[in-house]
Structures are given as structure tokens and as C-alpha cells.
Amino acid sequence: MPGLPAFCLRPRDLRRGAVLTLAFLAAVATGALTGCWDQEDGAAAAEIRTDLPASGAPRAAGTADRDAVARAAAEAVAEGKSGKKAAQEVVSRSGDRWGTVYDQGEYAAFTEGLDGHWTGVGVWAGRAHDGVIKVDKVQPGSPAARAGLRAGDRLLSVDGHAVTGLAVTDVVALLRGTAGTPVVLNLSRDGADLTETVRREQLRTEPVTVRQRPDGVTVIKVTSFTRGSGERVKDAVRAAPAGAGVMLDLRGNPGGLVTEAVTAASAFLDGGLVATYDVRGEQRVLYAAPGGDTTRPLVALVDGGTMSAAELVTGALQDRGRAVAVGSRTFGKGSVQMPTELPDGSVAELTVGTYRTPAGRSLDGDGITPDVPAGERAEERAVTVLGGLGVGP
């Protein structure tokens, strides 16, 4: 199994050392990510210690006891049963909304997604409170897109396996596989049942794209914080015309590697605090690197799909007075998870705390309220805001 990613906004904890993840939502792409650190870069962005509190430390309500989870997995393995399934049952009973258990293959696919590539069909799936699995997003040009799948389609089964009620990670595992192999999807759309057979492909997503508006404003769209995305944001800021305003578009960004999020925030900050987070009551901090552009007018575009590591960036820029947030309220995923490797090699990610913005705001469940509310015409509203900041004729 590949090494566990270090800080993904769901900070995680292996007894070999601290590993953090700031996860995105329960809508996991069929090859997406959640927010994690790169192990080799984490120490530069945060004070990470390996002397974590003992497992007997107090647990917050709605979290799973990692010892109980590990014990259930060990007992199941000793009886020849699935350790992952037993562990997941304990997590589910605990009320830990964001806790989940990955088998080795799922975790390998998860870490692959952090590099921005994966093998799948190009569908992002989310689970509703009633257990219904729906298509949240379809990647343009993917097998799913060519087959006509749409956001909002209800996914009923994958290769004959009913998916209603399954954890999203289990649905993702069914959708994944070897490139070139077929997968049969049964769906429901507007009351009609559909069946589509698609072939899995090696897919890649471009996490950062840059375009220049006719009015000179540079729009930096970040779809996820995969490896290398933070430096791409910095490169885009450096390449922007002198004096021109920037829109940092984080709409629909589900999160990603926290080290990359901190690097992206550093493009607009000259050091200082980005966020704090706690692990079983013990506080840790994330700092921006010095030398960012602190004078260029900046707007952060956000919406209900802005999550986790993307909310961390927005909250830091907003609290530090560096950006005006325009759009709609963000998702509100600010809890901290840490991983524990189980006896059968699977990995349980369990909630251990929350993170806060520089002003001390906890975003978990509440999200970020934009400074300037805007709907479908958010970009036009952002241009007006930049005009008020001295950009434009």
C-alpha cells in the first residue's frame, strides 16, 4: 500500500507519525481526492508533531474510538471475516459523519487521485441523507460524458451491484478498475431507467487554468488542490499584468492537499497565519510562506461547492483582509480526520477535531458567508468589486 498522504483536510493520524488530511465532501470523484499534505512538504507549512496524545484522550461527540475500530477489525480478521466491514460498522454506529474506512486498493486509488490522475469513468458521485447516490458532476470528454450521463442522474447499480445506501467510497471502488474494461451503469433520470455501458479510461484533470478577461482581469480557476497546484497559482499571479486585478475562482473546488492550499494562499500573503487546527484538543498551526503579492486587488469567487482546503484558503484571505469573497455560502467542511492503519492493511479515517481561520472562526457546518452575495452572475459582480478596488478604467 502506498504511504498515507500527510495533511489532506481531514488530518489523519498513524501511530508511526502525524499525517493530516482536510477532506472534501462526501461527494468523492471516481478518482478525485480529499485534502491532504505531501509528507515531504508538510513541515514547511505547519508545526507537525509526532508525539500525538494517547488513544485514551477525550473524544468529541460524534466521533469514533480508534481503538474500538481497530479492535473490531482485528477480531473480524481473526475470524476470517472482512476487517474493513467490521471497522466501518463501528464508525457508522459512532455518528462520525466524516469517518470512513478504505481498503488497500481504495486507498491506493485515493492517493493516485491526489496526483490529478486516475482510472475511472469520469463521474463525481454524492450520497444524499436517504442513501440515494447521485451524479454530482461529469468530467467533460470522459467516458461518462460521451455516454450522456448528467449531473443529477440517480445511480442505481454498478455492474449489477445495487449502490443505494452504500458509502461513496464503496461506489467509487465499483466504478474504478483497469483501463479499457467495461462497466455497466444503471441509472434513473426524470423517472425513467437507463442502462449505459462505458469503458474505464486513464483520466486526468487540470487543477489550475488561467484566462485573461477583455477588461484585463486575470481569472485563476482552481478546481482542486492536487500536487503542484499551489505553485501554479503562484506562477499565474507572477505572470498577471502589473496592476491588474485577480479573481481566484474556487467555485466547485472540493478541497485537496492542504500543503497546496497553503502554497496557494501564500501567493497573496507575506507570511503569517493561514489557519489553526486541533487534534484531540491539541492546537497546531499553518503559516504562509513570505514574499507573496500583497497589493494586487483580489476577489475570491466561492459557492456551495467550495469545500475543505478551498474554504481554508478563502477564510485566510478574507480574515487577513487580503480578498473580498464574492458568491454564495460555502459548504462548511472544517472537521479534522486522522488515519489509523488497521490489522488487515485497511485505513480508518476518524474525526478528531476542527480547524479555524486566522480570526478563530470554525467553518464546520457553517461555511463562509461571502462579503458580497452573488448568484449566477458572480463573475460580473466580482468585476464591479474589483472596480471599487481601483481596477479598470
Catalytic amino acids? Answer: 308, 319, 333
> What DSSP string describes 67-114?
HHHHHHHHHHHHTTS-HHHHHHHHHHHHT-TT-EEE-HHHHHHHHHHT
Distance CA 45, CA 354 (A): 17
Q: Could you tell me if 98 and 178 are in contact, meaning their C-beta atoms sit under 8 angstroms apart?
A: no
Q: Measured between alpha carbons, how far is residue 12 from residues 39, 55, 261 in Å? A: 12, 13, 17
Q: Could you tell me if 96 and 350 are in contact, meaning their C-beta atoms sit under 8 angstroms apart?
A: yes
What residues contact residue 265 under an 8 Å CB cut-off, 6+ apart? 274, 288, 312, 313, 316, 317
Helix (H, G, I), strand (E, B) or coil at 314: helix
Q: Could you tell me if 62 and 351 are in contact, meaning their C-beta atoms sit under 8 angstroms apart?
A: yes
Cell of 258: 492542504
Q: Could you tell me if 94 and 152 are in contact, meaning their C-beta atoms sit under 8 angstroms apart?
A: no
Cell of 138: 461529469
The Cβ-side half-sphere exposure at 43, using a 13 Å CA radius, reads 4
Distance CA 288, CA 316 (A): 10
194 backbone dihedrals φ, ψ, rounded to 5°: -130, 150
